[in-house]
Amino acid sequence: MDETASTEAPRPNLAAVAALAGVSASTASLAFSGAGPVSDATKAKVLAAAAQLNYAGPDPRGQSLRRGRSGIVGVVLEDSVSEAFRDPMNIATLDGISDAIGPSGSALLLLTDNAEGPSSFRSVPIDAVVLIGCSTRLADAVHVFAQRGVPIVGIETEPMPSVLAVDLDNRLASRRLAEHLRDLGHRDVTMVTLSLDAPHARGWATPEWEARSEGYTASQRIAGVRDVFPASSAFVSSASTVDEGYRAALEVLASSERPTAIVAQSDLLAVGVIRAAQELGLAVPNDLSVVGFDGVRLDGIAPIDLTTMVQPAFAKGRAAGEGVLALLAGEAPAGQLFDSEFHLGATTAPPQSARTAHH
């Protein structure tokens, strides 16, 4: 009975409703949108006809075409949905965007980077798009959107013309962490970084690999640490998870020259690093200092007071959302740069050498 329905009930039209109500289509339209002047009587007639025909109101597709707006804002994430949402920062950012554009009646469309699906970027009816920490290789997608006149906001993306930037002081913040470690007396610091490319490889960073990095944020944070420790090495993780931090730390701490401190590029990685250290019998911070990045609320994850840089993820999202609204309104908003805040936790201390020297 749910078949093609043959000739019965061809989904009703505004025109059909208008005809039944004995008015013109435009009048019926006004009756629904409530915009123009329509007598209560005819309005009632139209609504009655609609009810009789089981008409649910104007077709959104027609409205989109006519208005030139779909009421949809795209959000481009790297990787799959689940991978992207494993990171609380992404969720907070998304929430911020949602919070900002919600009042305008727009909804968020999830677009993933990796998928070269048939209809991916090219054929999606979006009014604007937000890039969340996407890799460099999105350049062509950016071009398509720009050409189409779709406003683009980039959160922590490489600066590009036609992309409104909502950025974070990644380099400065990382430098700040490195300085903290240096001031404590550390000289031997190793990084555990976020992913550098799409295949999500894992392993020790090489100059070549770093050079062709597609991870803007990761590269910025590496640069910040290198500002202080130019020779520090880096182990590239494949994702921002506790598990990856754990795996990375096992390798880092097994290397012949064990560092006295590890700079993890996210709090989740840092938690994994600490777990690995403890498992290897290293006390944090006495045997090993660890710093993170993000300022995730770890309440539910681990009872650790991490030394880290707290970044305003929700505010970043809000700013991106407001940027979208401004661009859609035809304004020319300026990009924004957000600052992270240093949080001194209980995971950093002077290295053994410094302390033994003092004794």
Partner DNA sequence: CTGTTAGCGCGTTCAC
Partner DNA sequence: GTGAACGCGCTAACAG
Q: Interface with a second copy by CB under 8 A: which residues?
A: 2-4, 11, 54-58, 60-65, 68, 70-72, 74, 80-82, 85-86, 91-92, 94-95, 98-99, 102-112, 115, 117-120, 122-126, 144, 147-149, 241-243, 268, 271-272, 299-302, 330, 332
Nearer to DNA, 59 or 305 (CB): 59
Beta carbon nearer to DNA, 21 or 304? 21
> Which residue, among 175, 178, 174, 179, has the nearest Cα to 194 in the 3D structure?
174
Provide the minimum distance between the beta carbon of 189 and a second copy in the complex, in angstroms, as a whole number: 25
Task: State how far the alpha carbon of 202 is from the alpha carbons of 101, 193, 233, 238, 310, in Å.
Answer: 37, 10, 14, 5, 26
- 251 vs 172: CA distance, rounded Å: 27
Q: Is 49 in the site for DNA (CB under 7 A)?
A: no
Nearer to DNA, 122 or 355 (CB): 122
Instruction: Examine residue 75 and tell whether it contacts DNA (CB under 7 A).
Output: no
**Does 67 interact with DNA (rule: CB under 7 A)?**
yes
Phi and psi at 230, nearest 5°, equal -60, -25
Please state whether 229 falls in left (phi above 0), alpha (psi between -120 and 50) or beta: beta
**Sign for the pseudo-dihedral over CA of 56, 58, 61, 64:** negative
Candidate segments 58-66, 110-118, 197-205, 228-236, binder of DNA by CB under 7 A:
58-66
Select the binding partner of residue 15 from a second copy, DNA, none (C-beta < 5 to 8 A, by kind).
DNA
Burial of 209 (0-12, 13-18, 19+ CB in 10 A): middle
Q: Take residue 209 and report the two structure tokens written for it.
A: 């690999």
Q: How many residues bind DNA (CB under 7 A)?
A: 32
Residue 95 or 169 with smaller CB distance to a second copy: 95
**β-strand partners of 32:** none
Instruction: Confirm or reject binding of residue 33 to DNA (CB under 7 A).
Output: yes
Residue 92 or 262 with smaller CB distance to a second copy: 92
Q: Which helix (H) or strand (E) holds 290?
A: strand 289-291
| Site residues for DNA per CB under 7 A | 11, 13-15, 22-27, 29-30, 32-33, 35-39, 41-43, 57-59, 61-63, 65-68
